[in-house]
Structure 1
Amino acid sequence: MAFQQTITVLDNQVTVPNAYLKIVSANVTTIGEIITCDITMYAYKNKEAAENELPPLTTYTDKFTPIFGDNVSDIKQQGYNYLKSKPEFANAIDILEEISL
């Protein structure tokens, strides 16, 4: 999964319409009874830039409290759901990735 939305980079100097945003890492940390998941999402000009491993235009980082158990989304899906709950990503379009077997 990934997102598509217009972003601004370089201190709001450049607008990138239909940028491709993808979580590249999700790391769960437990300290005592507190569990958090740190996520990193890269933003690219488009999907092809990501697939060709070009440098990202910008990086977003955040953290959330993951949920574990039966019938619960995986960590990355929870990360995307969390990000969509934030105003800056509320209008992002979900991009479903093809799964290669």
Structure 2
Amino acid sequence: MQHSQTKTPQMSEDTRFLLKEFDKKFQKLEALINTKENNISEIPETLQPTEVCNRMGWSRSKFEQFKRAGLFRTFKIGGKVYVYTSDLKDLFPKDYF
């Protein structure tokens, strides 16, 4: 009775190179995800302008006026504007916001 031997398929030089490159990219991606998960608690609580306007009863132009006056900080991610709610909480009484 003969034992069947499993043969490892031969990989070309290009295939080995691509596998190494994919492995490097995957390791970088994994490290980035782990870093983001560890820093998730550091992300401030935020709202988008429409949410702020709805809560405060402001028009969008009133929001922009207050923003330009520097009453609260905003930042952009991917073209979307966000407001730090801590700034709004500091401006108004605790029960208001």
TM-score, L = length of structure 1:
0.19
Higher helix proportion: 2
TM, length-normalised to structure 2: 0.19
Structure number with larger C-alpha Rg? 2
Higher relative contact order (CA 8 A, sep 6+): 1
